[in-house]
Amino acid sequence: MTDRINAFVPGPRIHIDGAPGGPLDGLSFAAKDLFDVAGVPTGGGNHDWARANPVPTRHAWAVQTLLDAGATLIGKTITDEVSLGILGENAFDGTPLNSAAPDLVPGGSSSGSAAAVAAGLCDTALGTDTGGSVRVPSSFCGLYGIRPTHGRLNLAGMLPQAPSSDTTGWFARDATTFARVFSVLLGEAVGPALPRMLLPHTLLIAVDAFGFADPEVAAALRPMVDKLAKLIGSARDEVMAPQGLSVWARAQRTLQPVEAWQTFQAWVQRENPRFAFSVARGLVAGSQIPASERSWAALMRQEARGRMAYLLPPGTILCLPTTPFPAPRKGLPLPVLDPLRDRITCLCAQGGLTGVPQVNLPGATIDGVPIGLSIIGGRGSDIALIAVAQAMEAAA
Amino acid sequence: MTDRINAFVPGPRIHIDGAPGGPLDGLSFAAKDLFDVAGVPTGGGNHDWARANPVPTRHAWAVQTLLDAGATLIGKTITDEVSLGILGENAFDGTPLNSAAPDLVPGGSSSGSAAAVAAGLCDTALGTDTGGSVRVPSSFCGLYGIRPTHGRLNLAGMLPQAPSSDTTGWFARDATTFARVFSVLLGEAVGPALPRMLLPHTLLIAVDAFGFADPEVAAALRPMVDKLAKLIGSARDEVMAPQGLSVWARAQRTLQPVEAWQTFQAWVQRENPRFAFSVARGLVAGSQIPASERSWAALMRQEARGRMAYLLPPGTILCLPTTPFPAPRKGLPLPVLDPLRDRITCLCAQGGLTGVPQVNLPGATIDGVPIGLSIIGGRGSDIALIAVAQAMEAAA
């Protein structure tokens, strides 16, 4: 069954027992192959990366923290090459299975982590989210997934991509497991009794984002939005990105590739590594962005941050479709995929651009295929989003 | 020994006996893995190419012609990916050995063919030359090598790159073998008695090209130039590219990548294949060249063709260093390699741009490392260049 899922990196499977008696005792987890595990090469989804880098001698902070809390590590998962990809098709390691829709991509870059959790191979799995790499696969696979507030988690031992946008996130099939991992990694207790007092009092419905998604998506998410509005009490329509979702996306697709090129340039130029064409093309694009574009993008980032701070005071959250459509088919040609990827970025850019936390809530489908509803809070409001996830599940 | 040379593509070696009693009876040859051999996948130096393309059912014209003439095919040789490379370092199959200088690159893209001939594994080997892919490895490995007049040879069954520049060429260690292959492939007899009556009467020494090469190269080639001048009788200095070698190179590096992108675009966009970063980067560059640049380059090509026709009437040849320096070290980083490649193009662009035939003559070295002297004639004058090669060797 594991082979059919293709969630784990090739080679012998690792297994490291968690410390006994911790708060995550009994939980199993997997880690995207961007996280260091002592004594195991960090593959990064690219076969030339592992060869060019030393085998880590200590666990990544997130791995160590979950092990210390009692969770057992059962494998490292396939990722898009050095996290540069949003669809989950790795030309070297193949495409992890989207259990909810086997003919469709799982989403990426945390593809194997999402696939492993979706298939029930483990209870939770670590991913990373720079431009959507946890949010997109959680939407496509029908999972809870979180991109925490940028800067809150220690990223030691996680292969970076674009540091000003990089985060560590995770997946779960149920809100309780999702919250247990949160308590350990964020250090804020979320007990079963807490959610109600942590709930926000105002819900904003991002009309620009709903309008940008496929009409079927808005329709499929409508019952979840209604339920969410009822849970929270007060709801109103609001434009998230008055400058334009596509303008925010343009800024993110300027800043992120430039930083990614800065991260990987020395390795690429020294080793001339092998990549899928699309990945190399993205790196080339990052190397070519002029300083004038970067300057503009940095200003737009400031505008977007200001907008999010204004929209999302404590007690207010915003909801939007996580992705503008459900998972596309596997194996589509680049001229079809490229515009899809660009559209995804229009609904994901706010994460990397402004650093706000975002949680994907599963529950909706279109013709049986999952599509996620996202909730976003102001920076540092992660626990409120977890509380909403728990309350939504409890109200089901 | 074969393994140490790493000239041949991975997998079982092929062997096809030539027809008995032909003019190449007793000769062994190898074919760059861009030439079809019936029943054998054409690898093209890229593992995703073979998978995406049907196994050929007939031999390439050049392979069939050599077999019919009695030569025996003993293997297919490593090439830079889809012939996009000039140094001979293939990230998938490794770097064929430059027997004359084991720490240095063999040159490419016909790297394995040059390596096989240089190591004595076969008598001759087919290569392709679009932007220098026979000329450069013959200079680096110390071999005879020819880029025939563009359009003279039938390229059926040869994987194209940039059709308006693509040619089939070959390597040999001695001028007699070199000439025997010529007679068969070009259909013009070159007997041992003929060379003298075919010899040109005027030698032009390309002072711009000699000035552009490293000073050590011009010095090392001086004795060969003197010998050539003596053989031919009349010699004078001449500027080959009055618009600039770098301007001709710019035109070639506009036209060739655009055509290469046209050649490979459908495959790349459908399959998203794996490439070394530098190869993908070159394809991306080809996809980005604006129409205005292409129009200019086409005009410069016309100017260059006019210049070559004016300089090289029948009976006149021109000589220049084949490469501006001997083979660089293996494994250099891209920021070091890129300017070297650009300099090589400045001495090779005339081939793809104007279609003139060019032969590399071995014989000079710098600290024991080969460096080649090239002779160029007007379009269709290939046999005169072969005659010069034979006369130079005879006069040794």
A51 to chain B, any CB pair closer than 8 A? The answer is no
A276 to chain B, any CB pair closer than 8 A? The answer is yes
**8 Å CB contact of B272 and A280:** no
B231 vs A257: CA distance, rounded Å: 59
pLDDT in tens, B154-185: 999 999 999 999 999 999 999 999 999 999 99
A298 vs A144: CA distance, rounded Å: 31
Q: What's the mean pLDDT in B339-362?
A: 98
For residue A334, give the chain B residue with the closest CA.
B269
Copy the structure tokens of residue A293. Answer: 């574009």
Q: How far apart are the first and last CA of chain A?
A: 30
Q: Please confirm whether the linkage preceding A109 is cis (ω < 30° from 0).
A: yes
**Single-letter amino acid code for the residue at B256:** Q
Write the DSSP assignment of B124-137 as a string of letters.
EEEEEESSSTTHHH
pLDDT band with cut points at 50, 70 and 90 for residue A194: low
pLDDT band with cut points at 50, 70 and 90 for residue A202: very high
Closest partner CB to B274 (pick from A91, A270, A334): A91
Range of the domain at A30: 2-394
Listed in order, strand segments (DSSP E) in B121-272 are 124-129, 144-147, 167-172, 202-206, 234-238
A379 to chain B, any CB pair closer than 8 A? The answer is no
Tell me how close the Cα of A133 comes to any Cα of chain B, in angstroms.
20
Q: What is the pLDDT of residue B1?
A: 46
A52 to chain B, any CB pair closer than 8 A? The answer is no
Q: Select from B87, B82, B79 the least CA-distant residue to B334.
A: B87
Q: What's the mean pLDDT in B30-36?
A: 98
Is residue A133 over pLDDT 80? yes
Copy the structure tokens of residue B112. Answer: 């394995």
Is residue A182 over pLDDT 80? yes
**8 Å CB contact of B276 and A274:** yes
Tell me how close the Cα of B58 comes to any Cα of chain A, in angstroms.
30
Average pLDDT of chain A?
96
pLDDT in tens, B177-225: 999 999 999 998 876 656 577 899 999 999 999 999 999 999 999 999 9
pLDDT in tens, A4-14: 999 999 988 99
Tell me how close the Cα of A137 comes to any Cα of chain B, in angstroms.
21
Distance of CA B82 to the CA centre of its chain: 14
A91 to chain B, any CB pair closer than 8 A? The answer is yes
For residue A92, give the chain B residue with the closest CA.
B274
For residue A89, give the chain B residue with the closest CA.
B272
**CATH at residue B225:** 3.90.1300.10
B127 vs B157: CA distance, rounded Å: 13
For residue B270, give the chain A residue with the closest CA.
A333
A57 to chain B, any CB pair closer than 8 A? The answer is no
Q: What is the pLDDT of residue A2?
A: 52
Closest partner CB to B280 (pick from A89, A269, A275): A275
pLDDT in tens, B127-149: 999 999 999 999 999 999 999 99
pLDDT in tens, A139-156: 999 999 999 999 999 999
Q: What is the pLDDT of residue A1?
A: 46
Q: What is the pLDDT of residue A189?
A: 81
Secondary structure element (H or E) that encloses residue B370, with its range? strand B369-376
A141 to chain B, any CB pair closer than 8 A? The answer is no
For chain A, percent of residues with pLDDT exceeding 70: 98
Q: What is the pLDDT of residue B193?
A: 59
Q: What is the pLDDT of residue A358?
A: 98
Output the CA–CA distances (angstroms, integers) from residue A75 to A29, A48, A173, B299, B351, in the order listed: 8, 20, 18, 59, 54
> Who contacts B44 (Cβ-Cβ below 8 Å, separation ≥6)?
B33, B34, B50, B53, B79, B81, B82, B83, B159
Copy the structure tokens of residue B107. Answer: 């040159």
Q: Beta strands B316-321 and B358-366: pairing type?
A: unpaired
pLDDT in tens, A329-347: 999 999 999 999 999 999 9
**8 Å CB contact of A273 and B335:** no
Residue A53: is it exposed, middle or buried by C-beta count within 10 angstroms (0-12/13-18/19+)? middle
CB B132, CB B108: distance < 8 Å: no
**8 Å CB contact of A277 and B272:** yes
pLDDT in tens, A52-111: 999 999 999 999 999 999 999 999 999 999 999 999 999 999 999 999 999 999 999 999
Q: How many domains does chain B have?
A: 1
Q: Select from B60, B37, B32 the least CA-distant residue to B157.
A: B60
Q: What is the pLDDT of residue A198?
A: 85
For chain B, percent of residues with pLDDT exceeding 70: 98
